[in-house]
Amino acid sequence: MSADTNGQPRIGVYVCHCGTNIAATVDVEAVAEYAAGLPGVTVSKTYKYMCSDPGQELIKEDILANQLDRVIVAACSPSLHEATFRRATAAGGINPYYFHMVSIRELDSWVHTDIVEATAKAKDLIRAAIHRVRFHKPLERARVNVNPAVMVVGGGIAGIHAALTLANAGKKVYLVEREPSIGGHMAQFDKTFPTLDCAACILTPKMTEVGQHPNITLWTMAEVDKVDGYVGNYQVTVRHKPRFIIEEACVGCMECIEVCVFRRGKTPDEFNLGLNMRKPVYIPFPQAVPQVVVIDQDACIEFRTGRCKKTCVEVCAERNAIDFTQTETFDTVEVGAIVVATGFKTFDPRRTPSYGYGVYPNVYTAMEIERLVNASGPTEGHVTLRDGRTPETVGIVHCVGSRDVNTNEHCSRVCCMYSLKLAHLVKEKTGAEIYNFYIDIRAPGKGMEEFYNRVAEEGVHFIRGKVADVYPEAGNTGRVVLQAEDTLLGRVRKIPVDMVVLATGLEAQADADEVRRTFNITCGGGGFFMERHPKLAPVSTFTDGIFLAGCCQGPKDIPDTVAQAGAAAAEALALVDKGFVEMEPNTAYVVTEECSGCKTCIPLCPYTAISRVDGKAYINPVLCKGCGTCVAACPSGSIRQNLFEDEEIYEEILGVLANA
């Protein structure tokens, strides 16, 4: 396959300008000229944009015209365009693995300023590649069949939408939700901005569809415990927490709740953020899916004393859906792809004590107000203070736990708009004077600015300034004073209000770190899961076959979440529908005749890809993921790795140092 002439390769070197991204800091012409003089280099060129069609065409033409048998492109990071140039190399008629990519943008021009130094570095890196490619071998990508089922983790609007999209395309979907019902945060919202349509009205039908869909297995009160396998063939172990209700037997009549020995609830209702109390046996909210009750082990008398009258069991009668003996169970399923849609948590404002949350009873979080304005909420939609009064003045504090170096640097993106929504709703319901304390109003997107204007026209007040302090008004009025510097007026404002609404920001889930490890994905800034590329692969992760949807990837509103969930579903679908994946051929292999059978490598493989066959090590190429740990450990040098052969790495070392 290789056109080796007397061991001397025929290398084509292409140095990309990337417009001025590279060329402004690296003297690309000098680099190409330098490369031209190195042994084995047949062609050395620069081009404005190597990734463009003409750039790729250049490679193809040169391979044919100059019988090139190795191709090097020095441009951006291989994570962006390695695949592009491998294709271009293959288009020229040679094996794509004769190509090697050198990053002189992310690793060089973008991080250095001195053109002399950056140019010298580019030369070193390209020289290393020139050294390396002569050892490249032709490689083939192995095909592995893909399991057509998909798992969606998280049953908020993102997970629901992704699951439905996949299920409607005819794929088997496992939807795993850790709460007793799907719905997520969206189920708690009253109206949605900017259209003010009722959240439940648009969400409930989708939830019901999930519950009834023949292609969806819905597991609530379940969490992913372990993920094994690889793209196309994941084995996922799911842990089912006991609900103490036999799901299939419960019809959701809720008579058990009625007859529970607790006449009144004594446990803060999670769904209503503790604004009311619920009983030990409860249904999270009226539209819950599945329509199945749940027993709270910590609150239930039977669990605490074992001496309850069990009126619930009595009333359930022959349905016999209550089972106090349930324990944790596990299921392992095989799926080809996984959509992670584990959502967010809202910022806990106790972390910024100056806002007085948890100290002054009339300081609320926005989420609490969502429940207060909701007709099915704890107050049946009446916005009242804890003492029963209706507020006459309300202050909304923006950016609580957002845009603040002490808490979260990021903008949570939805708070401005939901603050406007709540301002509108509270004003509508109470007629109160509403004061928004904001840093900037961020209203990008369809209909958002219009909504801002509408709310402003309704007479809601806007004070540009960050609230510095919240303290009780003198004279025991029950009101608190919001103090802020109005940066438009240039003076300090002190506004007494009956109710304070803290527009708390969005954060990564508390257990995002564990979840990330389970799925072998990465966290970026703020603990949100990291996408493979912020622009070009926004729902992919660095682990093939694992996709992201919704706020687990970063704060976003419902339209964006649904769009992203659709994208994640489409990506998953593209993978499982194709039926096979091609594996990167970077697997390790044993040179059997050199192997002494010493077994050093066997326990090192995390994928149990290494076994002993006829006294020698054998690496199963399907199981090997190409980390190379065994290669580095083999005491007799008998294990090699495709794409990362010892010789290739030694040559890179020599190459970067040839000038040292």
Partner 1 sequence: MPDKPKVAFYWCASCGGCEEAVVDLAEKILDVVAAVDIVFWPVALDFKKSDVEAMEDGSILASFVNGAIRTTEQEEMALLLRRKSKVLVAFGSCAHLGGIPALANLWDREAIFDTAYRTTASTVNPEGTLPQVSLAHNGDRVHLPGFYNTVRALDQVTEVDYYIPGCAPTPNIIAGAVETLLGGDLPPAGTVLTPDIALCEDCPRLDTKPQELTIERFRRPHEVIADEGTCLLAQGLLCMGPATRSGCGHLCINGNMPCTGCFGPTSKVRDQGAKYLSAIASMLGFEDEAAIDRALDGIPDPVGTFYRYGLAGSLLRRRKMTPVDA
Partner 2 sequence: MDKPAAPATADGWEPKIVAFFCNWCTYLAADLAGTSRMKYAPNTRVIRVMCSGRVDPQFVLEALAHGADGVLIGGCHPGDCHYQSGNYKALRRFRLLKRMLLAFGIEDERVRLEWISAAEADKLRDVVNEMVAQVKALGPARLGTPPEDWAVGLEEEADEEVEGVTV
360 interface partner picked from partner 1, partner 2, none, CB below 5 to 8 A per type: none
C-alpha pair distances (Å), 183 with each of 15, 70, 177, 281, 418: 51, 54, 9, 20, 18
Q: Which stretch binds partner 2 (CB under 8 A): 118-126, 207-215, 304-312, 379-387?
A: 118-126
- β strands within 505-657, DSSP E: 506-508, 546-548, 580-583, 588-590, 610-613, 616-619, 639-641
DSSP string for residues in 408-446: --S--SSHHHHHHHHHHHHHHHH--EEEEEES-----ST
Among 153, 163, 448, 634, binds partner 1 (CB under 8 A): 634
Using alpha carbons only, give the angle 297, 302, 307 rounded to the nearest 5 degrees. 160
SS3 368: helix
Which residue, 551 or 634, is less far from partner 1 as judged by CB?
634
Which residue, 39 or 138, is less far from partner 2 as judged by CB?
39
DSSP string for residues in 550-567: GGGSS---HHHHHHHHHH
Touching partner 1, residues 555-594 (CB under 8 A): 591, 593-594
C-alpha pair distances (Å), 618 with each of 228, 436, 622, 641: 21, 67, 12, 13
Among 14, 34, 230, 437, binds partner 2 (CB under 8 A): 34
Instruction: State the nearest-atom distance from the C-beta of 589 to partner 1, in Å.
Output: 13
34 interface partner picked from partner 2, partner 1, none, CB below 5 to 8 A per type: partner 2
125 interface partner picked from partner 2, partner 1, none, CB below 5 to 8 A per type: partner 2
649 interface partner picked from partner 2, partner 1, none, CB below 5 to 8 A per type: partner 2
Among 103, 220, 342, 412, binds partner 2 (CB under 8 A): 103
C-alpha pair distances (Å), 534 with each of 307, 541, 548, 553, 626: 57, 10, 12, 10, 25
595 interface partner picked from partner 1, partner 2, none, CB below 5 to 8 A per type: partner 1
Q: Which two tokens stand for residue 30?
A: 């000098």
Residues sharing a CB contact under 8 Å with residue 117, sequence separation 6 or more, in sequence order: none
Asked if 658 interacts with partner 1 (CB under 8 A), we say no
Asked if 627 interacts with partner 2 (CB under 8 A), we say yes
Asked if 575 interacts with partner 2 (CB under 8 A), we say no
Asked if 117 interacts with partner 2 (CB under 8 A), we say yes
Asked if 342 interacts with partner 2 (CB under 8 A), we say no
Which residue, 560 or 646, is less far from partner 1 as judged by CB?
646
Asked if 345 interacts with partner 2 (CB under 8 A), we say no
Asked if 309 interacts with partner 2 (CB under 8 A), we say no
Asked if 620 interacts with partner 1 (CB under 8 A), we say no
Instruction: State the nearest-atom distance from the C-beta of 135 to partner 1, in Å.
Output: 14
Cβ(403)–Cβ(434) under 8 Å?
no
Q: HEC string of 633-648? A: HCCCCCEEECCCCHHH
Among 65, 488, 536, 632, binds partner 2 (CB under 8 A): 632
Touching partner 2, residues 64-93 (CB under 8 A): 77-79
Which residue, 302 or 648, is less far from partner 1 as judged by CB?
648
Cβ(155)–Cβ(223) under 8 Å?
no
Cβ(399)–Cβ(408) under 8 Å?
no
The 589-618 site mask, x for binding partner 2 (CB under 8 A), equals ---------------x-x------------
SS3 213: coil
Instruction: State the nearest-atom distance from the C-beta of 639 to partner 1, in Å.
Output: 10
120 interface partner picked from partner 1, partner 2, none, CB below 5 to 8 A per type: partner 2
Cβ(525)–Cβ(409) under 8 Å?
yes
SS3 544: coil
The 512-531 site mask, x for binding partner 2 (CB under 8 A), equals ----xx--x-xxxx----x-
C-alpha pair distances (Å), 117 with each of 17, 403, 480, 652: 17, 37, 60, 19
- How far apart are the C-alpha atoms of 319 and 341, rounded to whole Å? 35
Instruction: State the nearest-atom distance from the C-beta of 124 to partner 2, in Å.
Output: 5
- How far apart are the C-alpha atoms of 635 and 503, rounded to whole Å? 60
- How far apart are the C-alpha atoms of 425 and 451, rounded to whole Å? 13
Asked if 235 interacts with partner 2 (CB under 8 A), we say no
Among 29, 106, 225, 323, binds partner 2 (CB under 8 A): 106
Contact residues for partner 1, defined by CB under 8 A: 591, 593-600, 602-604, 612, 629, 632-638, 646, 650
Q: Which residues bind partner 2 (CB under 8 A)?
A: 34, 37-39, 77-79, 103, 105-108, 110-114, 116-118, 120-121, 123-125, 127-128, 516-517, 520, 522-525, 530, 534, 542-543, 586, 604, 606, 625-629, 631-633, 641, 644, 646, 649-650, 652-660
